[in-house]
Structure 1
Amino acid sequence: MKLGLQVSRFAWTGAPATTGATWRRIAQNADRAGLASLWVMDHLFQISMMGPPEDDMLEGYTALAHAAAVTEQIELGTLVTGVTYRHPGVLLKTVTTLDVLSGGRAWLGIGAAWYEEEHRGLGIPYPSTRDRFELLEDTLQLAHRMFADDDRAFQGRQVSLERPLNHPQPVRRPPIMVGGGGERKTLRLVAQYADACNLFDTGLGPEGIPHKLEVLRGHCDAVGRDYGDISKTCLAALTLDTGASLPDGVRPHTVDQAVERLGRLAEAGIDHVILSSANPTDEAVYPLLAEVVRQVA
């Protein structure tokens, strides 16, 4: 099993003057701890599950580019980009640029978008669910073209590109992760186009994950895709106990408890867990994370 870290809160002590330095330390500590991946949400307002919309939120790809400059090994992605925020061609150029500048460490994490409030607030069009899923499928098809240096004209259901030129090409074709567990549309798109799915441990739990993966297996069978080619990832809220104070409601784990919980997710079929931690600014958490990485490897 691989472990990643998602950072979803940026309202840190001293922000915004110290935000850059804090973010650099988090990225470097995660890299040195041996974590496989580092993720940020691709939102423009904070989401209600994490805090009020006025809480600090960094633009995702700028933050990842900053992290790329101060790390060596860790892979970088958004969990996940709403397909509505950027024109598909510009989004894929952005991900390619992150891949080139990081030496081949970028992911394309993508989904159909859902946060209507930030769309209205910033004047971003928020199409119907049907149109958003059509746009998502167009973007996935286009990603396979642009990441393979195919600049022929592209005509999708929602977008049209005369010449989707993408130079330089990625150092490594960015793996494509589609976020969400929708059984009829989302998991079908995973089977057709993606290298990874992303499910949520919270609310679904290890008992529900095998069902979602069986649905994915069925979609793979239907389109002739090898189910084993797809990385099964999930986002899990898990905070390691350093003895420092934590936000109300956060139940910390010891290393042993974390390894046991991750083992249950492995038994459910997950091979890459992305941890949402309440204390990523705590320097003492990273030796503990390094030990969890060692044990679950």
Structure 2
Amino acid sequence: MRLGLQVPNFTWPNGQSQLGDTFGLIAERAERAGLYSLWVMDHFFQIRSVGPSENEMLEGWSALAFAAGRTNRIKLGTMVTGVTYRHPGLLVKTATTLDVLSHGRAYFGIGAAWNEEEHRGLGVPFPPLAERFERLEETLQIALQMWSGDEKPYHGKHYTLERPLNSPQSVQKPHPPILIGGSGERKTLRLVARYADACNLFTFPIPELRRKLDVLRSHCEAVGRPYEQIEKTTLGRMHITRDGRDGSLSPQAAIDQFAALAEIGIDQALFSMPNVSDLEPFDVLANEIVPVVEKIPVAGRS
């Protein structure tokens, strides 16, 4: 099983003047701890479940490019880019640039977008949900066409690209893995089955997660896609300390949670940490958690 770190919060005790240094250090520590991937949200305002809108929020793809320069191995992705934020052709160029400059370490995390406040605040159009899903599907089609090297015009309902040229091409072949975030059963998981290399679900209780995976399996069967081709990931929050103090998770408690996810077929568990700016959780991950979790077999994988 693989582990990945999400960084959703950039408001840290040492203040904004040290924000870049702290984030770079977090990226380096995540890599040294043996984590497989590093993720940032793609939002422009902080989201209400994390903190007030006014809190610091870095632009996601620029932050990943900065992290790429501080690391050598760890995979990098947005969790996830809202389809409404950038024109599809420019978004594919941005993701490709990260993949090229990081020597093939980019994930293409994308979703239908939801945060109306930041759209209105920065003047970004926020169409109705049905249209956002239409735009998401067209963006996925454009991304796959551009990464295939096909330069013929694309004419969709919402987007027109007369020459979708993508040069240089991505390092990863056939393209950076496409991860679609969200657990909607009728639209999101259907798009995963048709277009994506990975899905991301919130860390629901195990029975609910199992049911979501069954829905994904049925969508895969409907389009003739092997369910096993799709990387299954989850996203949660974990407060990890050496001794499990103050209601945090001890190393063994964290391992037990990861093992439960692997048992139902989760390939990669992503998590954020409220104490991410401290050294302690990375020491615990490196010495007590990652070496154990890497050996946990994932159900359904040979």
Which bracket does the TM-score occupy, shorter chain normalised?
over 0.9
**1:245: how far off?**
8.8
Q: 2: CA distance between counterparts of 1:205 and 1:294? A: 25
Q: CA deviation at 1:268?
A: 2.1
Alignment of 1:8-87 (within 5 A): 8-87=8-87
* Length, aligned pairs only: 291
Q: Which amino acid aligns with 1:177?
A: L
**Greater shift in the superposed pair: 10-19 or 53-62:** 10-19
Q: Which runs of 5+ in 1 are unaligned?
A: none
TM-score scaled by structure 2?
0.94
Q: Deviations over 1:230-283 (max 9, x none)?
A: 00000011121146998xxxx311110000011111112211000111111111
1:143-162 equivalences under 5 Å are: 143-162=143-162
2:183 — aligned with what? Answer: 181
Q: Which amino acid aligns with 2:195?
A: Y
Alignment correspondent of 2:297: none
Quote the residue 1:287 is aligned against. Answer: 283
Question: Which residue is equivalent to 2:257?
Answer: 261
Q: Is the 8 A contact 2:41 2:80 kept in 1?
A: yes
Hey, what's the Cα distance between the residues in 1 that align with 2:223 and 2:207?
26
Task: Map 1:217-296 onto structure 2 (within 5 A).
Answer: 217-242=217-242, 251-290=247-286, 291-296=288-293
Alpha-carbon deviations, 1:97-124, whole Å to 9, x = none?
0000100000100000000000000000
* Structure-to-structure mapping, 1:105-124, within 5 angstroms: 105-124=105-124
Question: 2:101 maps to what in 1?
Answer: 101
Give the Å deviation of 1:149. Answer: 1.4
244 and 280 in structure 1: CA distance in 2 versus 1, 3 angstrom threshold: farther
TM-score, normalised by the number of residues in structure 1: 0.96
Q: Which runs of 4+ in 1 moved over 6 A?
A: 243-246
Write the distance in 1 (CA, Å) between the matches of 2:151 and 2:190.
26
The answer to whether the 8 A contact 1:209-1:269 is kept is: no
Could you tell me how far apart the structure 1 residues matched to 2:112 and 2:200 are?
Answer: 13
Q: Identity of aligned pairs, percent?
A: 54
The DSSP-based 3-state class of the residue aligned with 1:178 is strand
Shift of residue 214 of structure 1?
A: 0.5
Gaps of 5+ in 2: 295-302
Does the 8 A contact of 1:199 with 1:234 survive in 2? yes
Q: 2:39·2:77 contact (CA, 8 Å) conserved in 1?
A: yes
Aligned to 1:164: 164
- 2:300 maps to none
Cα RMSD for the two superposed structures = 1.3
CA drift at 1:157: 2.1
Would you say the 8 A contact 2:244–2:250 is kept in 1? Answer: no
Instruction: Please state whether the residue corresponding to 1:274 is helix, strand or coil.
Output: strand
Helix, strand or coil for the counterpart of 1:144?
helix
CA distance in 1, matches of 2:53, 2:94: 25
On the 8 A contact 2:241/2:280 being kept in 1, the answer is no
In 1, Cα distance between equivalents of 2:155 and 2:215:
30
CA distance in 2, matches of 1:136, 1:265: 28
Quick one: distance in 1 between partners of 2:245 and 2:58?
A: 25
Residue of structure 2 in register with 1:195 after alignment: 197
Any idea what SS the aligned residue of 1:54 has? coil
Distance 1:244 1:284 in 2: 12
Taking the aligned partners of 1:61 and 1:244, their CA distance within structure 2 comes to: 34
Check whether the contact 2:180–2:188 (CA below 8 A) recurs between aligned residues. yes
**Whole-Å separation in 2 of the counterparts to 1:263 and 1:80:** 25
